[in-house]
Amino acid sequence: MRVRLLSTSLLLLLLGALPAVAQTCKSAIPDSDLVTAGKLQMSINPTLPPQQFVDEKGELQGLNVELMREIAKRLCIPLDLIRMDFPPMVPALSAGRFDGINTGMFWTEERSKIAYTVPYAQQTISITVIKGSSLKLPDVAAIAGKKAGVEVNSYQERWLRAQDKEIVAKGGKPIEVLTFKTATDVTAALRAGQVDTAIHIDQTAKELERRGLIEITATGLGGAPTTMMFRNRAIAEKVAATLTAMGADGTYDKLFDKFGLTKAPSKTFAIRGPGPQ
């Protein structure tokens, strides 16, 4: 009987201690900096494995998902990942619908003037064809005169259109650029024969090739940093500081090694660019 009473007392003691433990974690981000009080809201386009995707259970997975969850945990704030297509993300961020974008977008000077950008990885572009295709596309010049599918309003699209201008300026045939909402739609168009080639970011291309859906014919093109974007400078600074801490304690390397993505050249992270003008 005495043992039972001691066990009950110990249980009550432990239960009583739980609220005190929870209270020791205070959010590093005040409500005044957030779109919605009490939570950090980030948009994500879960169609780019292994960066971000939806598993068989309908749950979000991937590097950017785990990376942002770890950052939110360290900042002691609940994280709300909002699934949406990429094209409306930047306008929605500017309109104050959420706090940031976490979808592995390429850094550009233009974007760094729209919001506060925090580059955190490196990425390049691949040229791909349908698995088993006899089409040989060893470089971008080989796409001249062909139909190329690419995700709309993406760095890949801007890169492809810039390459097209150069090809035409040199007397080559223009590339017929067809845009689609997501990388999944681009791949579907390739498999349906709507385009001759699909232009993907390297890591997505490698994952799709691993699944036996496509073949990579050229890779490592148009390299640039990938970035998160934030509407509030204070939040961006705290995220950058947290990434730096994760780089110092090995968590950053562990996550990137797990998903096989290319790490940033420096483990000191910061806002790059002037922010909103």
In the chain, where the domains are located: 33-122+225-259, 124-223
- The pLDDT value given to residue 277: 81
pLDDT tens for 59-97 read: 999 999 999 999 999 999 999 999 999 989 999 999 999
Question: Which 3-state string (H, E, C) describes the chain?
Answer: CHHHHHHHHHHHHHHHHHHHHHHCCCCCCCHHHCCECCEEEEEECCEECCCEEECCCCCEECHHHHHHHHHHHHCCCCEEEEECCCCCHHHHHHCCCCCEEEEEEECCHHHHCCCEEEEEEEEEEEEEEECCCCCCCCCHHHHCCCEEEEECCCHHHHHHHHHHHHHHHCCCCCCEEEEECCHHHHHHHHHCCCCCEEEEEHHHHHHHHHCCCEEEEEEEEEEEEEEEEECCHHHHHHHHHHHHHHHHHCHHHHHHHHHCCCECCCCCCCCECCCCC
- The pLDDT value given to residue 24: 74
CATH topology of domain 124-223: D-Maltodextrin-Binding Protein; domain 2 (3.40.190)
Report percent pLDDT > 90 for the chain.
86
The mean pLDDT of the chain is: 91
CATH 1.10.10.10 fits 33-122+225-259, yes or no: no
